[in-house]
Amino acid sequence: MKEESQVKDMLEKKEKLLKQNSLTKLGLIVLILSAGAAAASWLIWNSEAGIEKLTGSRVTDSINYKNQSIPMTPVSATVRSGVLEIPLDAVKEKKMVSFAYSRQGQQSPLPLMAYIAPSGKLITAVSMCEPCRSTKFHIEGERLACNTCGTKWELESLQGIEGGCLKYPPEVITHRLQGNKILIKEADILSWKPRV
């Protein structure tokens, strides 16, 4: 009897341990899956697939800008939950738009731009030629031109071509597309600092 009771106690203890181990394993699996989901979300937002830098997000077919001069068209931007948003259709239609980011307590809004490069890719950038402090640009053929100093950069790469501010093209800011919205993280805008 005593042996049977000991065996029964041992079996009950073993069963209890197995249940605890199962719950611990399940907890670890849930924790790992949660961490994996969070990491995947971060990677999607920050990956080259989710956010495009200078290479841009392809949003249309190639565009021939030869013998054209396209000015910036102002559009409204909204900020929600730490993300600035502008309509993609406006950029597709106008080819080059300007907008501004401002928040309470900020002295002056930060000028931004978005344009469609000849390859059909969307480029988003700070709209500033830093040495001459111009905030206005236009597309001149296959080039981006500063309205104040006349410096020109290639539309695709923003490599300097001619002018006094060659080393300071508008600085690209990463973006993400969601339906008809161009999204730019407020944190990326706030972290921008002039180079000169």
Q: What is the DSSP letter of 175?
A: B
Residues 6+ apart with CB under 8 A from 14: none
Give the pLDDT confidence score for residue 104 in this predicted structure: 66
Give the pLDDT confidence score for residue 195 in this predicted structure: 87
In the block, residue with structure tokens 């102002």: 74
Question: Measured between alpha carbons, how far is residue 90 from residues 18, 37, 84, 192 in Å?
Answer: 61, 34, 15, 25
Give the pLDDT confidence score for residue 22 in this predicted structure: 59
Instruction: Count how many residues are written for the chain.
Output: 196
Q: What is the DSSP letter of 127?
A: -
Residue 165 tokens read as 């501010």
Domain spanning 57-190: CATH superfamily: Rieske [2Fe-2S] iron-sulphur domain (2.102.10.10)
Pairing of strands 96-101, 73-74: parallel
Domain boundaries, the chain: 1-46, 57-190
Instruction: Name the stretches of the chain with pLDDT < 50.
Output: 37-55
- Per the confidence metrics, is the pTM higher than 0.75? no
